[in-house]
Each structure stands twice: as C-alpha cells, then as structure tokens.
Amino acid sequence: MDLAKLVIERGLHTGFDEERGAYVVDIRRCREYLDQVLTCREVLDTHVVEAIPSSKVSRVFVLRLDPLQLRERLSSRGYPERKIRENVEAEVLGVVLADAISHFGEEKICEVDTTNLSVDEVVQVILDALTREEVPRNLRPGSVDWLTKYHNLLLSDKNFLKYLL
C-alpha cells in the first residue's frame, strides 16, 4: 500500500506544498483511517511513520540509500532542488530511522542498506527477516552510518558538502 497515493485518493492531507511538490499529510486523519482499515497483513510504503498506528505494525523496514545515489535518483526524477536537499539531509542524518525507532520501538526496526542491491535482492532480505522472530543482527538499527562513511570528505572538501546537499 503506497501511503502517498492513499493520502491523495482519500483526501488525507491538509493541502499541497508547491515548493516541495508534495501533499502535506494530515497525520491524525491518516492514522485514524489506517487504524480502521489495516489488518496487520499489509505492507505499507511511506516515510511518514507517525501516520501509521503502531499497534498495527509487527516489523518496520527502513530502506537506506547512499546519499550520493539518492541525490542522483531524485534529480533524474525531476524533483525540486529543495525537496532533493531535504531528502539527502534526512538520509545522511537517519531521520526516518530515528522517527521509526521513536514511534514503533527499536525491537521492530530493520535497517536495510539498499545501495548495491537490486529490487529482488531487497525483497529477499525482507522476506528472510520476516521468517525470524527477532531482527537479524546485521539489520538492527545503526547498521547504516553515512556520517562516518563521508566524515573525512565532509571535513576535507567543502565542495563535496555543497554537492551532497
């Protein structure tokens, strides 16, 4: 279930943000709607984790992508520069991961670095993790760390920071 499409189809938004080219999710109304329709068997696609009723969630997969690849991907899709910058900043800092941990609890969270994986490989990682009672060690929160990876480049090359953000 693509939450962005659902928000548009059901009018679960407060309006459209022209600068970001995106609808603004009405968190309360969205959560109330999902609480009524979810059966705990759905797969939801969203980064707006606070709109999901935590009681309806058994496992959360936070898909991470190298910020340089994320920038290229969003740019190739024609996203506005402000939205690209905000998404890259959020990825570098792990904002969605932090929100997911805060909202659902660390024990439900799997963090998957999708950078060098095909869609089929990502699906297989998810399916394998779902067969286990506990989150596999290599998927526990904190397994992806872009700040450490790019720390030296951020310190030594001011142009890299401008490119990244």
- The per-residue pLDDT for range 103-160, each reduced to its tens digit, is 999 999 999 999 999 999 999 999 999 999 889 999 999 999 998 887 765 655 565 5
Q: Provide the pLDDT for residue 83.
A: 87
Q: Provide the pLDDT for residue 159.
A: 59
Q: Provide the pLDDT for residue 98.
A: 96
Q: What is the pLDDT of residues 61-78, one digit of tens each?
A: 999 999 999 999 999 999
Residue listed under structure tokens 């067969």: 131
Q: What is the pTM of this model?
A: 0.84
Pick 80 or 162 by higher pLDDT: 80
Mean pLDDT of the chain: 90
Pick 20 or 95 by higher pLDDT: 95
C-beta pairs of 105-108 under 8 Å, 24+ apart in sequence:
105/54, 106/140, 106/141, 107/134, 107/135, 108/57, 108/58, 108/59, 108/60, 108/135
